[in-house]
Amino acid sequence: MEITREDKDGLTVVVLKGEVDMRSSPDLRKGLLQVSKESVPHVAISLQDVSYIDSSGIATLIECLKHVCEYGGKLTLFGVNENIYPVFELAHLHDVFDLRRDVTLD
């Protein structure tokens, strides 16, 4: 999995590429928790190029959501593609996360 980050005007965009699984989740967790601790008001995570996500990846995103909210921020997931949306739907996480087609936040 590849992780890139871009900060702009109070928004941090984290782009994930590849598989988010138990092998890659620890690195993702470390990176996302660092972002959430930096008092960034809004974090947007792109899942457009994620081909697979397992329960450890979902748990990492939930943990990040919790931390961002604890610091008074907001977390948005965008580009949730047809490969991984069923995982969010099955677990009713489409009701928990702010899911968007793209990074446009208005």
Is residue 4 predicted with pLDDT exceeding 70?
Answer: yes
Average pLDDT for 64-77: 90
Would you list the DSSP string of the chain?
-EEEEEEETTEEEEEEEEEESTTTHHHHHHHHHHHHHTT-SEEEEEEEEEEEE-HHHHHHHHHHHHHHHHTT-EEEEE---TTTHHHHHHTTGGGTSEEESSS---
pLDDT tens for residues 19-70? 999 999 999 999 988 887 776 688 999 999 999 999 999 999 999 999 888 8
Q: How much is the pLDDT for 104?
A: 64
Q: Of 8 and 40, which is predicted with more confidence?
A: 8
**2-8: strand order across its sheet:** 2-8, 11-20, 42-53, 74-78, 98-100
Band the pLDDT of 102: cuts 50, 70, 90.
confident
Q: How much is the pLDDT for 39?
A: 63
CB count within 10 Å of CB 94 equals 16
Percent of the chain with pLDDT over 90: 68
Q: Which domains does the chain have, with CATH numbers?
A: 25-100 (3.30.750.24)
Q: Structure pTM?
A: 0.90
Band the pLDDT of 106: cuts 50, 70, 90.
low
